[in-house]
Structure 1
Amino acid sequence: MSNSRAVLRKKRKKRILRLSLLFVFLSLFAAGILFAIDIFYSGYKATDSIYQKLGPEKNQRAEEVEVTKDPFTILLVGLENQEGGKGRSDVIMMISVNPQTEEITMLSIPRDTRTFIPDAGYEDKITHSYGHNGITSTIDTVEEMIDVPVDYFITTNFEGFEDIVDTLGGVTVDVPFDFQAQLTGSLKWKKYYEGEMDLNGNEALAYVRMRKSDPRGDLGRNERQQQVIKEIIDEGTSFSSITKIDDILNDLGENVKTNIPPSKFASFVKLYSKLKNTQINQLSLKGYDDYIDDVYYYIPDQDSLNEITLSINQTLDGESSYNSSEDTGLNTANNDN
């Protein structure tokens, strides 16, 4: 009799354990569903505020771009707000991607580049293009200068940049040399030492904006920008950042605008995971410094512009153009940096 009671007790304990495990599993499953719903809802709200369709006056492709298959271009613009509500395009990068050949080119255009601004009707610094008709004016100016169509754009202001870096817990960068840079807001000077450094949002912004102390000028600045952008993307797409998705989406929703449809976001993540270790072929715009009416300008070399246009179009067409890097001023930077 005692043996049968012991057997019953064991069976009862096993049944309770199974029920407990089932309860825990169902609780976790339900929590996962609620978390997914929360992410989807937050993502829907954020992408709704992020998305900015270009006006009908902009020529769009006849056929929709399949980003995992078709070559495309993205214009990245970092905005600096001025008093009076006008903004300046302080950072301008044109990225060309060919998913089939797995080639990426990046052109950073110095903010003081003198070029024709269609919406203004005269030549001026390209940084002033945004102040005439927003991102449409900057796109028109870039297309006029290098004769390559812009498929997508992404804009962010400096506050958004800082918020995103802070939400991710900062970024780790490999500082190329010792220098000092002034922080925005506090105007304090920050010392950067050669080697790995952990930076918060405010420090990372000063790191990517500094150029006067860089012996390589805008080229060095452009490479630091590329370095930090990759760190942000890598950290933002890591598993450890999934719990921060609400905050990240809120930061993006408040400070980022793009004409990339929300339906394509997953395709871009898929493409990035495929190309994240691909070398970036960095194009540099040759030119010279000049003063016109006591105002400093960077005057681009027309031959360099022609070579850049050819290189980008060859990337988009799937033709290798990197054997003549000495002539085009092209740098190959590994995306792992």
Structure 2
Amino acid sequence: MTIVLPGSAQLVAGNRKVGRIALRVVLVLLATALLLGLVTLVWHPLVIKLAVSPFFLLLVRLGLIAGAIGWFALLVDAWRLGQPLTLVKNHRLAMTGLNAALTFVVAGSLLFGAHIAGVSRAALLAVGGEGGDGSANAGRYNILLLGGDSGSSRWGMRPDSMQVASVDEETGRTVLIGLPRNMENFHFAPGSVMDKQFPDGFDCDGCYLNGVSTWAGDHTDLFPGSKNPGIDATVMAIEGVTGLKINYWAMVNLQGFRDVVNAVGGVKLHVREPIPVGIPGDSFYTHLKTGYYRLNGFEALWYARARHDSDDYSRMARQKCMINALAQQVSPTTIVRKFGAITKATTGMIATNIPTGDFSRLVPLAMKARSQKISTLSLVPPLVKDTAHPDMDFIHEKVKQAIARAEGKAGKPAGKAVVPSSSAAPNGETQRGGSIGTRETGYAANESTDLSSAC
């Protein structure tokens, strides 16, 4: 009776006051769950909002702990009410063993649920940052995705991979814009701190796009009060190059990425050309051969990062394929089933300026994006003929065209760029399009194409 309806045993054969209190609590909880279920059927985002609310998760955790203790006590009391000492020895041992098993299964399940709620809350608080811009720009959220260099103690200092995910706030339709780390002489967002330092473009000796972070780290006095001057400066650079206003940024430790892939059970990919695993001289040096594979974390990391016998541009294309594969293959069921491993893998792996309060708006958008095709645009040769002297106006126009195509407005302007620029190529020529990647690799695709076909 206590398993089916907690408190009913006490109502029949024990302390009726205790039984009534327990039944009322159970009925209130059942009514609340039913109400939430009905509301969720009408308004799906509700369950997501609650799932990413630290306060709600705290209430759930405390409630489950209290429920485990209360139910445990009711089961023990019900065992007492059954007068086990009046039974013969074999019956008494059997009933005591059964009751003990039921008691620990029920209490253990609730305590495990409390643990999951606690881990979820801790993960949200650990990942959540501060800052960011929660207002969509021209109907889109632009999120800068940075892959940190895996060198010792420097992954937060020098971005090794830079991409902008531009997501439609209504449909979730996403354009992934890849930026080469070796771009030079680009302009920063007008009026920004970095633009004032480099009004004619980032033209210092050995200054590349991925070196902006290091430069800012050496000049932190220009960023008073900033917790991440290197990333702040990189955002200024990305806004200047793409003409898009960045809402949020997220930095991922690429070595930790390996653990995430392992946690979700690997990722299926079509390897279109042999990919070196390691570098010559490594004891594990080998190659991923062409074909379809389920890559583990170690293999996936090298697939995304390998530069030996390759170049930055083909590596950028592979990284986009990896993002697309993970977005399509990691289902909500997988996340629930392997939640503990995923949470452990992501702890300390991600840094971001997305406030925890914005998750309730962004998670539903991410679910929409997952159901859509991801378009891609890479700002590399031959599309951008000379990354050492890029034509900023041309790049801005290509970004607008890629977004327009993703929104089904091909041939129409994609709207005014949020961060304008008037720089031109040094030779005064107008560059024209080509492909997003190098034709020498198996990962080339036409300008602004769907990743599903490019990969």
Please state if 1:311 is matched with 2:401. Answer: yes
Higher Rg: 2
Residue 183 (structure 2) pairs with residue 113 (structure 1): yes
Indicate the structure with greater strand content: 1
**What is the CA–CA distance in structure 1 between the aligned matches of 2:150 and 2:288, rounded to whole Å?**
26
Q: Which amino acid aligns with 1:165?
A: V
Distance 1:29 1:264 in 2: 35
Cross-structure match for 1:247: 341
Whole-angstrom CA distance in 1 between matches of 2:257 and 2:312 = 20
- Give the whole-Å Cα distance in 2 for the aligned partners of 1:51 and 1:74: 15
Q: Taking structure 1 as reference, are residues 207 and 81 closer, same or farther at Cα in structure 2, changes over 3 Å only?
A: closer
Letter in 1 for 2:244: V
RMSD (CA atoms): 3.7
Q: Offset of 1:47 from its aligned partner? A: 2.2
Q: What SS does structure 1 have at the residue aligned with 2:158? A: strand
SS at 1:300's partner residue? coil
Which ranges of structure 2 fall in alignment gaps of 5 or more residues? 1-93, 217-228, 414-431, 436-446
Selected match of 2:130 from 46, 53, 59: 53
Provide runs of 4+ in structure 1 moved above 6 Å. Answer: 26-29
Q: Percent identity?
A: 22
Name structure 1 gaps, 5 residues minimum. 1-15, 55-59, 290-296
> Are the counterparts in 1 of residues 275 and 306 from structure 2 also a CA contact under 8 Å?
no
TM-score by length of 1: 0.73
Q: State the shift of 1:175 in Å.
A: 0.5
Equivalent position of 1:104 in the other structure: 174
The question of 1:78 aligning with 2:147 is answered yes
SS at match of 1:275: helix
Structure 1 residues 28 and 328, CA, compared in 2 at 3 Å: closer, same or farther? farther
Summarize the alignment of residues 129-278 of structure 1 with structure 2, pairs less than 5 Å apart.
129-131=212-214, 132=216, 133-182=229-278, 188-211=284-307, 213-214=309-310, 218-278=312-372
Give the distance between the partners of 1:231 and 1:184, measured in 2 at CA. Answer: 28
The C-alpha deviation readout for 1:126-154, integer Å capped at 9, x for no partner, is 11122222211111111122221001111
Aligned residues of 1:279 and 1:335 also touching (Cα < 8 A):
yes
Change (3 A) 1:137 1:184: farther
State the AA in 2 paired with 1:93: Q
Shift of 1:181: 3.7
Partner residue of 1:331 out of 420, 425, 448: 448
Kept after mapping to 1: 8 A contact 2:172/2:365:
no
Cα distance between partner residues in 1 of 2:332 and 2:281: 30
- Equivalent pairs, count: 299
Question: Which deviations, in whole Å up to 9, do the C-alpha atoms of 1:43-65 show, x marking residues without a partner?
Answer: 222222222223xxxxx65xx44
2:140 and 2:166 in contact (8 A); partners too:
yes
- CA distance in 2: counterparts of 1:205 and 1:184, whole angstroms: 17
Query: 1:97: how far off?
Result: 0.9
User: Is 1:301 equivalent to 2:301 in the alignment?
Assistant: no
Do residues 39 (structure 1) and 129 (structure 2) align? no
Offset, 1:225: 1.2
> In the aligned structure 1, how far is the partner of 2:107 from the partner of 2:274?
51
Rounded to whole Å, the distance in 2 between the matches of 1:232 and 1:33 is 31
CA deviation string 1:55-92 (max 9, x = no partner): xxxxx65xx4489x952111100010546747211100
- Of 201, 207, 211 in structure 2, the residue corresponding to residue 128 of structure 1 is 211
Equivalent position SS for 1:87:
coil
Q: Which moved more, 1:147-156 or 1:238-247?
A: 238-247
**Deviation (angstroms), 1:213:** 3.7
Query: Judging changes above 3 Å, is the alpha-carbon distance between structure 1 residues 84 and 245 closer, same or farther for their aligned structure 2 residues?
Result: closer
Contact 1:153 1:259 in 2 (8 A): yes
Change (3 A) 1:251 1:282: same
Report 1 or 2 for greater relative contact order, CA contacts < 8 Å, sequence distance ≥ 6.
1
**CA contact 2:147–2:251 (8 Å) conserved in 1:** yes
After TM superposition, give the deviation of residue 309 of structure 1 in Å. 4.0
How far apart are residue 28 of structure 1 and its match? 6.3
